Amino acid sequence: MPRSYYTGLTGPSHDPSAQTGVLLVNLGTPVAPTARAVRPYLAEFLGDPRVIEYPRWLWWPILHGVILRLRPARSAHAYARIWTAEGSPLRVGSEKLAEGLQDKLRRDRGEPIRVALAMRYGEPSVRAQIEQLQREGVRRLLVLPLYPQYSATSTGSVIDAVADTLKHLRWPPELRIVNDYHDDNDHIEALALSIERGWAVHGRGEKLLLSFHGIPQRYVDAGDPYFNQCHTTARLLRARLGLDESRLVVSFQSRVGREPWLQPYTDATVRRLAAEGIRRLDVACPGFAVDCLETLEEIAMQNRDFFTAAGGETLRYIPALNDSPEQVNSLAVLIQRHMQGWPACAATATPHHGYGGKSA
């Protein structure tokens, strides 16, 4: 008999555990702060057509002939500056968030529920985690990309990875995907409380800068809602904190290449604010659920140096929400809202164990 194109599960269940699952998805991270480990991670990330919207015939020679020869060593140096004894901050923080959410949801719902973590690039992959959840008997799956603001480059890419996985499953689970939560009241409150807690401990800077990850301007021109959603988050947070536009400003970081990205740029903004006489600047990054290279190295180190070199005294980075109670609680409420209408878990699970065939 020919091997099947589809992956399936066979045999009776011996583990009537979670029937409902939540898959958190974050960007990803190399497994070590070395050029050898960074190279395949960057190849997967920068090879995603959702991230770089150039024709392959044009982009592939640049990526493999230039970028992947030069950038891994530079990126590895940056990763080494933030790496901890536990490993990658993004991986460790995301795992702790998943654990906290699973505990919270099980307490709140009074039924078995499984929360798993996948990385869009690197490991554990979206496909591996969905297949594992299926082996555990999950028949209803909620996917939560850890990107508060939607962009085709981030959430859109997660949706692609989920779809690519489901089309290979013989019996895909019921599926729901959280598109974004940029204006969710509980999320805005969690952000505000985090900032206020920082102010209570360290005092207030003269201005608060919200730095979001950038994307090319042409993506927004083509219909990506990301820019508007970032500004909606900023507007709601400004109102919650009681700040006017002169006290809370918005910028965009992490641009690469020569084409225009969303502006104003963060590095130019911190230099400008220092040159205008601002001495103490607070920076928060509401587009990042968990601290990572872009927050810990790019903001808290690189942009701190840009600010002080331009005449400022102190740039204080306010950490991401990470696995704080505020984030766990706000995401638990969000998840349960999106699960409304799904029946409670059954007492037993039908599918389990053993894969069916899958062609190469």
Cα 351 → chain centroid = 31
Residue whose token pair is 């608060």:
208
- For residue 212, the surrounding DSSP H or E stretch is strand 207-213
Tokens representing 80? 């080494």
- CA-based end-to-end distance of the chain: 15
Nearest to 33 by CA among 1, 64, 77, 67: 77
Backbone angles phi, psi at 20, to 5 degrees: -115, 135
The reply to whether 294 sits in an annotated binding site is yes
- Burial (Cβ within 10 Å: 0-12, 13-18, ≥19) of residue 61: exposed
CB 201: neighbour CB atoms within 10 A? 7
Q: Are 153 and 215 in contact (CB under 8 A)?
A: yes
| Residue/partner pairs of 238-245 with CB below 8 Å, 24 or more apart | 240/188, 240/189, 240/192, 241/192, 241/195, 241/196, 241/208, 243/208
Cite the annotated binding site by residue number: 213, 294
Cite the annotated binding site for Fe(2+) by residue number: 213, 294
